[in-house]
Structure 1
């Protein structure tokens, strides 16, 4: 059998942890090969070894049958290996073309030939169906477009083997469909793709074979045509996984969050939320469904004090909190699992213990007379790490060193532990594997069952349908419909999210 990539018996260690333990991965030419595993299983580490960012302690790498030593990404590029990272490596003020050619600039008489570069980028983007504006600034284009730029960067450098690290984690459903089409086009052109993921639906749809890693060890490789999501989930987590979280009928009580006629501008000063009305009661989960960019982020930021609101009112337990400081809003009984865990959820260079007390460090018993009680802080962190299964060498580990999913679990543990009246969960399972998703859904439902109000904002329609008691559909900054998950379908929700009005008479848009 001819393989374009062989990683044989790879072992990679970090202080106090074995990230990859005797893992083997063999990729055929022209296939989409999934690398499946839980958060922290060692998937990204293995691919960082292949891309030259890490050096293995043991094992051998072969490219097209030849043993190679990949000591840095330039060598990987020269061998035809390109990597599209989960967190994009782009320079925001630069244009699309400037980012793509960075480090490999075409020059004429010692000057960068931008006209030639624009032409090359345009031809490359048309060839692979990756249509982007070569002259647009990265800061001005969508996340989906930024990902296309990352893919074009690898193709511009002549990549034959492309590594995609959790490529759909930050994409809307429409962008995911477009990416799947792009991957299929690349394979038709003779490229080979390694897809790091834990989304079983995407593996079943787009991949040829899948290699499973569990807790750093290779479990095996199976043909996708000969398996199913249940079997893959069991291989990944080592037990049976429940995909649909069971929950009893909600028993809502009084209103906790009341929003009336709210208006909020986006960063450009354009109105993103327009006269929005929303109520979330104690003992219920209200899900907000919508395509990214329809005002969800601005709404959540206004509720949590991260963005100033214009007209309207935001009340928690009957008390006006609009345009209060984030600390006052936190103290009023709101917890927030933010959409962007790096920007708003963690201080990456702080330890896990320090991150656990970001909102409560000034309160007893975390401090006394302005002096932090580190013994208490780390004791609490140890308990939450255990309770929420945060895979980390210790509570003293910097947040930056954890996988994305484990960073998310630390945030969720911190926010639930604060015992809020209202829990705002914005994309709470983004970047999490099926086992962790099952766990987080169960925790959200537990919050509801203890009488808490939960506001869930998610782009994952199956998550909205599965977890919510009521669904509010947002379109262009307004709630256009309120539906019961038991009385709607993903198809109807998709139409509502695209702006179509519900035909039923008397359907109020005031939740």
Structure 2
């Protein structure tokens, strides 16, 4: 089926998310939509899927215009979508999830689960999936859950299949398997739209590439284009993608020491399971793993944000367990949280105010409880210049900045304190390639200043670029700590729970 999007324009108030976008996907083609988070890719696909209504433009399937009032209309026309965040009911079986919304019934009105099971088996056999129709979805690994999403879409006889950031929660091995599935679907005639911001993946699987920036199509590219060429299209300028760093100069004493750390939820679930590691002054230790394997709880434990913590966390000999967040910050920890909007910034506050959120009581900025606005403005202007924060001025609300510039505000605030350690969780999530380049450079500069750096990231490319050593987490435990140049396939196996010595055996 040929898909044509002509002049699609979608606005949210005064903000134009899609600005007269034209995209054509030929039958049996993998067409990648490449762009940074916030570029408008997912909005465009939500218009295609009937979740949003466009103000302008039209959708054509095999030359026939269609108007979708909801996902039901889109599915009936042959469009399927595999969402980044799975649309599955965890307590239902695979068969129940596949038939949900399209239930088949027997003569007396009862659900025909046998037919659903057969359909799941038929599709699984066709693609070589190993999926048990009677398995509870919540008990399945993430990669298998994604296969269930694909089976759901194919059960509706999808001719056009949209994959929205499908590799965000997958190990490298699961990503490779998904690429194989996409190629098989293409070869059978399915038209595929692949939404991503990962250059390596798009070059590996796409037949054609459309690049979107700030809601507009800015160019077409072939898979043979280099990463540098694609990144330049995405950002609008030349970008240095390689992190340049010298070998670490590690100091043998001091730094962060974590021993027998356990984090337990209020209902008794073990979230972090008896882990121990060190981060030495002058090195970057990166924590890798699929999202949801205890990384968030680890950072919360270090920062004093979690109550159910046992074990010890010391920084230059100072115990952090039992301290408040204020106490941890005062001990010299700089913290870049994984969700800047929730935990890193106050959107209604100015850029200047956000730059001193954790030091507003310092004598340098306040006296008798009153902020010295002139001093604060001078400090903010200097940080805006140093960290290349694109803003109209220090008094601009932080919430009005782009994601990349918001992240730079957080980085600038944390790196302009007297640090004994930097903890950066998902430091480049949702920022453009140019900002990634800048943030990575500052992290390496911090390491080279003799400060221990702990980076938590689900992006393997980022881990490989920054890490001197890598700790891989799986189900709350550390599977192993390996050198920073460990191959991706080995890291992928560790992310699935295999110990490196088992792999070597």
Select which of 233, 240, 248 maps to 1:242. 240
d(CA) in 2 for partners of 1:126, 1:389: 52
SS at match of 1:258: strand
The two structures have a TM-score, normalised by structure 2, of 0.79
1:414 lines up with 2:410 in the alignment: yes
d(CA) in 2 for partners of 1:268, 1:130: 35
Pairing of 1:356-375 with structure 2 (within 5 A): none
Task: Give the stretch that moved more between structures: 451-460 or 295-304.
Answer: 295-304
1:21 lines up with 2:25 in the alignment: no
SS at match of 2:255: strand
Alpha-carbon contact 1:339-1:426 (below 8 Å) kept: yes
- Aligned twin of 1:113: 112
d(CA) in 2 for partners of 1:275, 1:467: 26
d(CA) in 2 for partners of 1:442, 1:276: 29
TM superposition shift of 1:259: 1.4
Pairing of 1:316-335 with structure 2 (within 5 A): 316-322=315-321, 324=323, 328-330=327-329, 332-335=331-334
d(CA) in 2 for partners of 1:152, 1:340: 32
Task: Give the stretch that moved more between structures: 331-340 or 56-65.
Answer: 331-340
Gaps of 5+ in 1: 371-375, 505-511
d(CA) in 2 for partners of 1:286, 1:19: 38
- Aligned twin of 1:499: 499
Alpha-carbon spacing, 1:136–1:396, altered in 2? closer, same or farther (3 Å): farther
TM superposition shift of 1:137: 3.1
The C-alpha deviation readout for 1:249-270, integer Å capped at 9, x for no partner, is: 5445552311134455689968
SS at match of 2:463: helix
d(CA) in 2 for partners of 1:39, 1:354: 24
The C-alpha deviation readout for 1:4-38, integer Å capped at 9, x for no partner, is: 10111222222222222221100000111000112
d(CA) in 1 for partners of 2:43, 2:110: 38
Task: Give the stretch that moved more between structures: 327-336 or 240-249.
Answer: 327-336
Alpha-carbon contact 2:169-2:290 (below 8 Å) kept: no
Alpha-carbon contact 1:164-1:195 (below 8 Å) kept: yes
The two structures have a TM-score, normalised by structure 1, of 0.78
The C-alpha deviation readout for 1:347-382, integer Å capped at 9, x for no partner, is: 9xx956599979959975999999xxxxx9xx99xx
TM superposition shift of 1:115: 3.2
Alpha-carbon contact 1:341-1:408 (below 8 Å) kept: no
SS at match of 1:46: helix
Alpha-carbon contact 1:32-1:206 (below 8 Å) kept: yes
1:64 lines up with 2:65 in the alignment: no
Alpha-carbon spacing, 1:98–1:489, altered in 2? closer, same or farther (3 Å): closer
Pairing of 1:17-96 with structure 2 (within 5 A): 17-96=15-94
The C-alpha deviation readout for 1:386-410, integer Å capped at 9, x for no partner, is: 95569xxx987989xx9xxx66874
The C-alpha deviation readout for 1:81-140, integer Å capped at 9, x for no partner, is: 112222222333333333322211112223323333233223223323343333333333
Over the residues paired in the alignment, what is the CA RMSD in angstroms?
4.3
SS at match of 2:174: helix
SS at match of 2:22: strand
TM superposition shift of 1:43: 1.2
SS at match of 1:111: coil
Pairing of 1:452-491 with structure 2 (within 5 A): 452-472=451-471, 477-478=477-478, 480-483=480-483, 485=484, 490=488
- Aligned twin of 2:197: 198
- Aligned twin of 2:302: 303
Alpha-carbon spacing, 1:432–1:100, altered in 2? closer, same or farther (3 Å): farther
d(CA) in 2 for partners of 1:271, 1:445: 33
- Aligned twin of 2:226: 228
d(CA) in 2 for partners of 1:6, 1:53: 18
Task: Give the stretch that moved more between structures: 263-272 or 113-122.
Answer: 263-272
- Paired residue total: 485
Alpha-carbon spacing, 1:121–1:397, altered in 2? closer, same or farther (3 Å): farther
Pairing of 1:332-343 with structure 2 (within 5 A): 332-337=331-336
Alpha-carbon spacing, 1:103–1:479, altered in 2? closer, same or farther (3 Å): closer
Task: Give the stretch that moved more between structures: 263-272 or 27-36.
Answer: 263-272
SS at match of 1:312: strand
Gaps of 5+ in 2: 370-375
Alpha-carbon spacing, 1:90–1:243, altered in 2? closer, same or farther (3 Å): same
SS at match of 1:439: helix
Task: Give the stretch that moved more between structures: 80-89 or 110-119.
Answer: 110-119
SS at match of 1:110: coil
d(CA) in 1 for partners of 2:213, 2:290: 33
d(CA) in 2 for partners of 1:97, 1:340: 35
The C-alpha deviation readout for 1:318-349, integer Å capped at 9, x for no partner, is: 2222355556545544454456789x7589xx
Alpha-carbon contact 2:404-2:435 (below 8 Å) kept: no
1:100 lines up with 2:107 in the alignment: no
d(CA) in 2 for partners of 1:38, 1:280: 32
Task: Give the stretch that moved more between structures: 201-210 or 235-244.
Answer: 235-244
SS at match of 1:88: coil
Alpha-carbon contact 2:355-2:409 (below 8 Å) kept: no
d(CA) in 1 for partners of 2:238, 2:127: 39
TM superposition shift of 1:162: 0.9
SS at match of 2:2: strand
SS at match of 2:410: helix
Alpha-carbon spacing, 1:290–1:41, altered in 2? closer, same or farther (3 Å): closer
SS at match of 1:259: strand
